[in-house]
Structure 1
Amino acid sequence: MRKNLKPNIEYAEIFWTHWSVYCVVASFSSVFLLANGYTNTEIGTMIAAGNLVSVAVQPVLASVADRSERFGVFPVSILVTVIVMLFEAVTLILSGRSFLLSAAYVLMFGFQASLQPLLNSMEAKLARRGIGVDYGICRAMGSLGYSVMSAVLGVLVVSAGVRALPVAGEICLLLLLGGLLLLGGRFRKAGSTASAGSPDIKEKGSISMGEFIRRHRVFLVINIGILLIFYDHQIINFFMLQIFQNVGGDSGNMGHYYSIMTILELIPLIGFTWLTKHFRSSFLLKVATIGFVLRGVFMLLAHTPTAMMLTLVVHPFGFPLFLPAVVRYINEIMDEREAVRGQSLYVIMITVSAVAASFSGGVILDTLGADALLWICAVTCVIGAAIILPLLDRAKTDSAKTL
């Protein structure tokens, strides 16, 4: 298998536009919905509902993408993108608080989030057709695209108003659709060439959900640990301002924190292919899990804005390393008939952690305060790591026995 420029550009463009759409739909959701007359409580409820839609939709899409010979990962991704475009068009047409706008936004949020496991699974699907792509660099382009889109939207909203948001969303979705069509066409062409040139290459029978669970029981337990360590990460996403205010900081400190955090995330993502040549994916996942714990503990111990900023020193060893490592790990322990469901399962855990953090974080802050919230985050990280670390190698062994 050799890597060439065109599929890498197409895969990177897919990640760039996907995370640009996420920036429009999720990160600027409050901006758009507040301007349309929604309250903060209603916005929080809609975001939670969108995450729940994603949790419900992802297993269905993953099962279809894994089991259907006709509707593989690329056709399903294209279909989901078109659905999101339709809901985005509704938010462009409608203005003002209404049931239809609320429903369209919740469904758009849910379906857009459900794309992530489909995109993650494409690397393994492409590799099995002899198309080499660098997941780490392509995923890094997603983070970079998110950062650029954040800056662009900040200017657009000021100069053109919130109506610019759904317009920007539709443009990015159209570009995403184009990337999926190009890379999907390359994937189909490689499949037909491989089938014609090698009669041994045949798809195995599909795997039912029951069989999937039987083959990966240890991995299911690992996902409970993933939910727990990501609870801390989601709290940081949702309530970082309150955490900084607790140590005497302000929104300026929060902005600097996020800016530095985004830059640091590019380092392990771009260097991930080099890391995999020297370390096993299970080892990298262990390092990333410990990175989550260290940041949780360091944030608990930080009592000034400067100390809080210094906690970012361990960030590259946590979340941004975990992202490509878990994708590679899942692709290693699962075959092509179940890869999308594997990717979907861990994304569902992250989504559930977001729902739990959004609901519980505010309550804990209002009743117990930021210090108590950081204690809870540190404890959940430690418990999650205690579940994940001893099971990573065992999950690979158990999966191999059932192949």
Structure 2
Amino acid sequence: MKKATRILTVQYSFLQLGYWVDYLLISSFAAVLLMSRGFKASEIGYVTTMGSVMAIFLQTYLSSLADKSKKITLKQILGLMIAMAFLAAGIVWLVPSSHVATFIGMFTAFGVTSSISPLLTALCLQYNYAGYGVDFGIARSLGSFGYAAAGFVMGQVTEKFGANIILPIFCVVYVLLMFTLLSMRKVDNNNDKMEKPEKPSGIIEFFRKYPRYDVFLISVMLIYFMQMILGTYMIYFVKSYGGAEAEMGTVLSVTAFAEMPAVAFGMFFLRKFTAQKLLKVTAIAASIKFISMIFITDIKVFIALMLIHFFYSGMYMVSSVYFANSIVDDSDAVKAQGILAVGITGVVGIASNIIGGYMLEFVSVKAVTVLGAALAIIGTVTMFLATGEKIPKVSQKAAK
């Protein structure tokens, strides 16, 4: 069992590493590719918005399918998703002159890739429920390393060879992930060793039952609104500070490297501090970041500011999982994580892409940053409410 666990941890770590490389390519570098093919900022927003809508439906449906199906395994679902993203990106790569093919292929690749992350988390849980101690913390920190390294390398590569180099690299990484997935040990969905929680709540019942979670979700969505704009339109901000594709890669790399130690030592921080305290720190860090961006004029300062992601997204990755699990019943833990993913990548992704795309065409980058900073401040106040003691864990009235 120990040898099998070591092998699975290595394989799962490679899945995380490769996935976050491709997520970087299809999210942050998508704008670079689309700009090179004549897309306006608002059109780029349409691409990522359609991808976000697709991600909402895919995450909702696939999570339910993975929980309920006795015939379809989680590995099969992941394999199908990887194949879909590969084919969509391949079409964009092979038909560079078609505006329509680029639009459809890019939003499909983005939507499918965005939907894979919670399934990867569920895969780790499935192995652990079956008795294999796969180390999620190490694997996820390697994912951040992959994101960081790819950000730095791709910034240099796209500036030297052009944006079209993005798609073949994206496809090659997914081929490697498919081979890794196929080589991993099978786990029966209905293994008797796997602990089965009670029947989960319906979606409406869930929101009525957990008012503290509702406030927490709202706060996270507000705090991540500006970050989602940056995820899609980073190149616009980098250029406004005097940088180009190479500096954009450095920004993304520094961001991910700053997150890594917070993720890797997440359990240490949780033993020293509560998840509530860490979430308050992440909220304050978000406000500081976006307020600071209003006054930045130099790309070097902007790059240095990304170090704050140790406290912002790094600590959030760890503390949000444990806090969400602590305020809902065990039977609703998976749904709580899924809704967080849909809230950020789906709902906020749609809003930020549409609003950000239009604003960047008609107003300055600074005006967009002011809006993002204002929402982050409101989100920080809301986070303090969510992590306080006055909101009950479960609404007894709703639960009856």
Q: Could you say if the C-alpha distance between residues 24 and 369 of structure 1 is closer, same or farther in structure 2, counting changes exceeding 3 Å? A: closer
Q: Which amino acid aligns with 1:25?
A: I
Partner of 1:280: 274
Q: Could you say if the C-alpha distance between residues 80 and 138 of structure 1 is closer, same or farther in structure 2, counting changes exceeding 3 Å? A: same
Q: Which amino acid aligns with 1:20?
A: V
Alpha-carbon separation, structure 1, partners of 2:179 and 2:329: 28
Q: Could you say if the C-alpha distance between residues 400 and 255 of structure 1 is closer, same or farther in structure 2, counting changes exceeding 3 Å? A: farther
Alpha-carbon separation, structure 1, partners of 2:90 and 2:108: 12
- Is 1:398–2:394 an aligned residue pair? yes
1:69-88 paired onto structure 2 within 5 Å: 69-71=70-72, 73-88=74-89
Query: Displacement, 1:381?
Result: 0.9
Partner of 1:198: none
Query: Displacement, 1:301?
Result: 4.8
Q: Which range is displaced more, 111-120 or 255-264?
A: 255-264
Ranges in structure 2 where 5+ consecutive residues have no aligned partner: none
- Is 1:230–2:224 an aligned residue pair? yes
Q: Which amino acid aligns with 1:144?
A: F
**CA distances 1:353-381 after superposition (whole Å, capped 9, x unpaired):** 23323332354455553443333222211
Q: Could you say if the C-alpha distance between residues 142 and 66 of structure 1 is closer, same or farther in structure 2, counting changes exceeding 3 Å? A: same
Partner of 1:11: 12
**CA distances 1:216-256 after superposition (whole Å, capped 9, x unpaired):** 3431332121111001222344455655666x644476555
Partner of 1:90: 91
Alpha-carbon separation, structure 1, partners of 2:165 and 2:370: 40
- Is 1:170–2:164 an aligned residue pair? no
Q: Which amino acid aligns with 1:146?
A: Y
- Is 1:149–2:150 an aligned residue pair? yes
Q: Which range is displaced more, 346-355 or 92-101?
A: 92-101
Q: Is the 8 A contact 2:8 2:134 kept in 1?
A: yes
1:27-176 paired onto structure 2 within 5 Å: 27-34=28-35, 38=39, 41-71=42-72, 73-151=74-152, 153=154, 164-176=165-177
Q: Which amino acid aligns with 2:382?
A: I
Partner of 1:264: 258
Alpha-carbon separation, structure 1, partners of 2:364 and 2:166: 34
Of 335, 339, 361, the residue aligned with 1:345 is 339
The DSSP-based 3-state class of the residue aligned with 1:133 is coil
Alpha-carbon separation, structure 2, partners of 1:242 and 1:230: 18
TM-score (norm 2): 0.82
- Is 1:188–2:184 an aligned residue pair? no
**CA distances 1:92-141 after superposition (whole Å, capped 9, x unpaired):** 44332153443232222211111122223344444333332333321121
Partner of 1:209: 203
Alpha-carbon separation, structure 1, partners of 2:87 and 2:276: 40
Q: Is the 8 A contact 2:129 2:193 kept in 1?
A: no
- Is 1:354–2:349 an aligned residue pair? yes
**CA distances 1:266-319 after superposition (whole Å, capped 9, x unpaired):** 221222132233333333222212221222233345465565455345331111
Q: Is the 8 A contact 1:66 1:72 kept in 2?
A: no
Q: Could you say if the C-alpha distance between residues 214 and 259 of structure 1 is closer, same or farther in structure 2, counting changes exceeding 3 Å? A: same
**CA distances 1:192-216 after superposition (whole Å, capped 9, x unpaired):** 4727xxxxx5564454334433433
1:305-316 paired onto structure 2 within 5 Å: 308-316=302-310
**CA distances 1:27-63 after superposition (whole Å, capped 9, x unpaired):** 3324444555655543332222212221232222222
Q: Could you say if the C-alpha distance between residues 162 and 243 of structure 1 is closer, same or farther in structure 2, counting changes exceeding 3 Å? A: closer
Q: Which range is displaced more, 209-218 or 110-119?
A: 209-218
Ranges in structure 1 where 5+ consecutive residues have no aligned partner: 196-200
Alpha-carbon separation, structure 2, partners of 1:205 and 1:17: 34
Alpha-carbon RMSD: 3.7
Percent identical across equivalent pairs?
23
Partner of 2:374: 379
Q: Is the 8 A contact 2:28 2:233 kept in 1?
A: no
Alpha-carbon separation, structure 1, partners of 2:15 and 2:276: 27
Q: Could you say if the C-alpha distance between residues 362 and 202 of structure 1 is closer, same or farther in structure 2, counting changes exceeding 3 Å? A: closer
Q: Which range is displaced more, 263-272 or 209-218?
A: 209-218
**CA distances 1:128-184 after superposition (whole Å, capped 9, x unpaired):** 333323333211211221233345556666787766543322322222233334456
Q: Is the 8 A contact 1:37 1:97 kept in 2?
A: no
Of 311, 322, 329, the residue aligned with 1:328 is 322
Q: Could you say if the C-alpha distance between residues 180 and 209 of structure 1 is closer, same or farther in structure 2, counting changes exceeding 3 Å? A: farther
Q: Which range is displaced more, 260-269 or 80-89?
A: 80-89
Q: Could you say if the C-alpha distance between residues 48 and 182 of structure 1 is closer, same or farther in structure 2, counting changes exceeding 3 Å? A: same
Q: Which range is displaced more, 376-385 or 210-219?
A: 210-219
Alpha-carbon separation, structure 2, partners of 1:310 and 1:159: 24
Q: Could you say if the C-alpha distance between residues 325 and 147 of structure 1 is closer, same or farther in structure 2, counting changes exceeding 3 Å? A: same
Task: Give aligned pairs, total.
Answer: 395
**CA distances 1:330-368 after superposition (whole Å, capped 9, x unpaired):** 344456654443222112222232332333235445555
